[in-house]
A and B are shown apart, each in its own frame.
Chain A
Amino acid sequence: MDAQAQAISLDVLAESLNLGLGHVIEELAEISNSKIELHVPEVNMVPKNEALTFTSMLRSAGKAIFVQQRFSGEITGEALLFFSEEESLNLLNGLLSENEQSLIEFAATEEEMLLDLTNVAVSGVIYALSNLLGIRLNTELPRCEYGYFDDICGSTSLLDDADDMVLFLTISFTVVKKNSRAQLMFFQPRDTLEKLYDHIQKRLGL
Chain B
Amino acid sequence: MGDLYQQIVELIDTGIILLDSEGQVISWNNWMERHSGILEAEIRGLNLCNYIPELKGTRIDKGIYKALQLNCPSVLSAKLLNVSFPLYKELITHTRRPERIVQSIQIKPFNLDDNSQYCVISVFDISSADMREKALRTQSVVLTQLVANLQEKEHELSTLFENTQNGILIFDRSGLIHSANRAARQMYLVDASASLQGKNLFELFDDYNGGHFGKHKSDEQIRALMPVSGEEREMTSLRSDGRRFPVSVSANSIPINEKETRFFMFVRDITEKKRAEEQLNRMARVDGLTGLSNRFSFTEILASTIRSHSRDDHSLSVFFIDLDRFKGVNDNHGHDAGDELLRQVAERLRTCCRDSDTIARWAGDEFVILLPQQNQSRSSITVAEKILLAIAEPFDIFGKQVFINCSIGISQFPDDGNSAERLIFCADQAMYQAKSDGKGVFRFFTREMNERTLARLKTENELRIALEENQFELYFQPQVEVATGQMKGVEALIRWNHPQRGMVYPDEFIQVAEECGLIGQLGDWVIMQAFETASRWYKREGSPLTMSINISPKQFVDDGLVYTVRRLLNSVGFPPEQIVLEITETHLMAGEGHYLRLLNALKLLGIKIAIDDFGKGYSSLAYLRKLPVDIIKIDRYFLQGAASNNADAKIVSAIIDLAHALDLEVVAEGIEHLSQMELLRFKHCDHAQGYFIGKPMSIEDLVGWYGSIGNKPLVQ
A38 at the interface (CB under 8 A from B): no
Residue in A closest to B57 when the chains form the complex, CB atoms: A30
B179 at the interface (CB under 8 A from A): no
A101 at the interface (CB under 8 A from B): yes
Report which of A101, A116, A137 forms a contact with B137, defined as CB distance below 8 A: A101
Mask, B221-243, CB within 8 Å of A = 1, is 00000000000000000000000
Q: Measured between C-beta atoms, what is the minimum distance from B33 to chain A in Å?
A: 26
B586 at the interface (CB under 8 A from A): no
Report which of B70, B74, B75 forms a contact with A112, defined as CB distance below 8 A: B75
B458 at the interface (CB under 8 A from A): no
Which residues of chain A from 1 to 46 have any CB-CB distance to chain B below 8 Å in the complex? 27, 30-31
Mask, A55-89, CB within 8 Å of B = 1, is 00000000000000000000000000000000000
When distances are taken between beta carbons in the complex, the residues of chain A under 8 Å from B130 are 109
B92 at the interface (CB under 8 A from A): no
- Contact between chains at A108 and B129 (CB < 8 Å): yes
Q: Bin chain B's interface residue count.
A: 20 to 34
When distances are taken between beta carbons in the complex, the residues of chain A under 8 Å from B129 are 108
- Contact between chains at B62 and A27 (CB < 8 Å): yes
- Contact between chains at A127 and B70 (CB < 8 Å): yes
When distances are taken between beta carbons in the complex, the residues of chain B under 8 Å from A142 are 75
A115 at the interface (CB under 8 A from B): yes
Given A105-B140, A113-B80, A115-B77: A141 and B106 within 8 A (CB)?
yes
B683 at the interface (CB under 8 A from A): no
- Contact between chains at B71 and A95 (CB < 8 Å): no
Report which of B74, B106, B141 forms a contact with A123, defined as CB distance below 8 A: B74
B400 at the interface (CB under 8 A from A): no
- Contact between chains at A136 and B71 (CB < 8 Å): yes
- What's the Cα separation between A113 and B330 when bound, in Å? 106
Mask, B91-134, CB within 8 Å of A = 1, is 00000000000001010110000000000000000000110010
- What's the Cα separation between A100 and B81 when bound, in Å? 13
Q: Measured between C-beta atoms, what is the minimum distance from A158 to chain B in Å?
A: 21
- Contact between chains at B77 and A112 (CB < 8 Å): yes
Q: Bin chain A's interface residue count.
A: 20 to 34
- Contact between chains at B79 and A113 (CB < 8 Å): yes
- Contact between chains at A119 and B73 (CB < 8 Å): yes
- Contact between chains at B79 and A139 (CB < 8 Å): no
A104 at the interface (CB under 8 A from B): yes
Mask, A112-156, CB within 8 Å of B = 1, is 110111011001001100100000111111100000000000000
Report which of A95, A100, A107, A123 forms a contact with B73, defined as CB distance below 8 A: A123
Report which of A107, A116, A123 forms a contact with B77, defined as CB distance below 8 A: A116
- Contact between chains at B75 and A119 (CB < 8 Å): yes
- Contact between chains at B78 and A112 (CB < 8 Å): yes
B72 at the interface (CB under 8 A from A): yes
Report which of B70, B72, B80 forms a contact with A116, defined as CB distance below 8 A: B80
A193 at the interface (CB under 8 A from B): no
- What's the Cα separation between A193 and B245 when bound, in Å? 82
Q: Given A27-B62, A109-B78, A117-B80, 17 other A-B contacts at CB below 8 A?
A: A30-B59, A100-B79, A101-B137, A104-B140, A104-B141, A107-B136, A108-B129, A109-B79, A112-B75, A113-B80, A116-B76, A119-B74, A123-B74, A126-B72, A127-B72, A130-B71, A136-B71
- Listed from nearest, the 4 A-B pairs whose CB atoms lie closest are A123-B72, A116-B77, A112-B77, A113-B77
A-B contacts, 9 of them at CB < 8 A, read A104-B140, A105-B140, A113-B80, A116-B77, A119-B75, A123-B72, A127-B72, A130-B71, A142-B75
